[in-house]
Structure 1
């Protein structure tokens, strides 16, 4: 199970006709704030493209439209795997490495 991450891509903004480029397969996705690098979302899923498309980004008005001024500038990357179990294993390893890094830096 050797999987590689895609390059960081700008997250599509509502109303601009932009598309998400992601595998239609099990895998991982990571979404972060482009300016700060702060993690916005991370998950192991059955269908990466569908999960990114359903991800709620920004706030909504009373009429169901997104307010473009309130949407953060986000970017995402993906990593396809053979199965969701492989994706979960890879996610657990990444979380473990991050926790080790943060505890060592404190």
Structure 2
């Protein structure tokens, strides 16, 4: 079974005390730059919450800390599925639609 996409939410930034709101189940996630809507990352995974929490979202400084000034404003949304196989099917359809759109727009 495939559920619907969540609303876009602001991706938590270090030091703000914010939390991710994502399913601990198979599904798809999409992360975009808030200012432009450009795609940052996308995936079909076994655990959506874990995948979002482990995304590299900024550059690290020389001392291993993330430079807060360089962290982009990101937004994310999720779509839970019953299995990873379902997530892959939905992801492939989305990629196909994007490719068709981009080839028509070029």
- Structure 1 partner of 2:15: 15
Gaps of 5+ in 1: none
Distance 2:105 2:43 in 1: 24
- Structure 2 partner of 1:59: 59
- Structure 2 partner of 1:102: 102
- Structure 1 partner of 2:89: 89
Structure 1 residue 2: Cα displacement: 3.8
- Structure 1 partner of 2:49: 49
The CA RMSD over aligned residues, in Å, is: 0.8
- Relative to the length of structure 2, the TM-score reads 0.97
Tell me the secondary structure at the aligned position of residue 53 of structure 2. Answer: helix
Structure 1 residue 16: Cα displacement: 1.1
Gaps of 5+ in 2: none
Structure 1 residue 61: Cα displacement: 1.2
**Contact 2:2/2:80 (CA < 8 Å) preserved in 1?**
no
- Structure 2 partner of 1:71: 71
Deviations 1:40-80 (A, max 9, x none): 00000000000000001111112221100000110000000
- Relative to the length of structure 1, the TM-score reads 0.97
Structure 1 residue 23: Cα displacement: 0.2
Instruction: Kindly tell me the number of residue pairs found equivalent between the two proteins.
Output: 106
- Structure 1 partner of 2:31: 31
